[in-house]
Amino acid sequence: MTRTFFLGLGGQKCGSSWIQAYLARQPGSDFGRMGEYQTWEHQLGGVFARYRAPEPSMLGKLRARAKVALGAPEPAAHLRWRLQQDENAYFDYFAGLLAQDGIIRTGDITPSYAALPAKTLARIRDGFASRDIAVKLLFSMRDPVDRLRSHMRMEMEKGRLPEAAENEAPLRAFYASHEAEARSRYDQTLSAIEAVFDPGDIFLTPFETLFTANGIANLSRFADVPVDAQAGMRAVNSRAKGSGLSEDLEGEIAHHYAPVYEAAARRLPQVAEAWPSARFVLRPTSA
C-alpha cells in the first residue's frame, strides 16, 4: 500500500488537534512523538520566531542519546530541536515511522504551518517524494471572526495578552495585529497550497462542518480510513469564547479580511452559510 505523510496546515483554532487525533488512532497510523512538530515555521521569523527550539545543553544531548540507545522515546524538546537543525532528519524521522510493519500513515499537523510559503511546501513535498512517500495536504478554515476570538483568548491564557472578561475592546485592538494577520490570511495559504499540490492531494474543509457526519465521512474518504461517526462528539483542545461581539465589530473585522472570505468561498461556496460573519461580505449561496 502507498505510504502517506499527512501535512496539516491548521488553520490555528480550526480543529487541527481533532484532525490529528482522528487520524492518529486509525489502524495503520503512527504520528510519532508529538502532536505538533513545529519544525518549519520558525524560519519565517517575526511572530513565528518563538517556535525556534533552544539548543539542549551537552548534558541534555547525552541524556537524549542514552534514552534512545536504551529504546526509550527521544525527549520531545530534543527531537524538535534536532528536526529543526536538519531537514533531512525531519524526512528520515517520518520515513522511519513508515518503515515499521503495518504502518502506512503518519503526519505533522501544526497550525502555524498555514503561513508557510509555496517554496517551503515544495521542499516538504519533494523531501518525502525522494523517499517514495506520498504527501497529502489538510487545511481547515474557521469563520475568521470566530477564529480570531478564540485565538485572542488563547493569547490571554498564555500570558501574551492581558486577561479580560469581555471580547469587544481587546479584539478590536487585536484583529489587525501582526500576530492575528499572520494566522488569518487563508487566501495566501490557499494560493501557496495550490501552487504546489495537485487537487486530488488537497483536503479543504470549513471547521464548522468538519464534525458533522458528512464532514467526518469526507475526511475519512480523503485519508482512506474507516469512518468513525461518533468522532464528532469528542471535543479536542476546545476553548471558551468569552462574551459576544457587537455587529459593528464583526462587520469591521469581516471587511478587513474580505479577501480571505472571497478566496475561501471560491473553493468552498458553503462558507457563505457556514460562517456567520460571512453575511457582511458574501452573498449566501442559492439553495
Digit-coded pLDDT (tens) for 41-74: 999 999 999 999 999 999 999 999 999 999 999 9
pLDDT at 240 exceeding the cut of 90: no
Instruction: Say whether pTM exceeds 0.85.
Output: yes
Q: List the beta bridge partners of residue 136.
A: 6
Question: Where residue 2 falls among pLDDT bands split at 50, 70, 90?
Answer: confident
pLDDT at 211: 93
Listed in order, strand segments (DSSP E) in 149-239 are: 202-206
pLDDT at 285: 62
Mean pLDDT value across the chain: 93
pLDDT at 89 exceeding the cut of 90: yes
Look up cell 455587529; give the residue.
247
Type of residue numbered 16: S
pLDDT at 238: 44
pLDDT at 221 exceeding the cut of 90: yes
pLDDT at 283: 81
pLDDT at 141 exceeding the cut of 70: yes
How far is 149 from 168, CA to CA, in rounded Å? 9
How far is 271 from 282, CA to CA, in rounded Å? 9
Sequence-distant contacts of 92-97: CB under 8 A, at least 24 apart: 92/131, 93/32, 94/5, 94/32, 94/128, 94/133, 95/128, 95/131, 95/133, 97/30, 97/31, 97/32
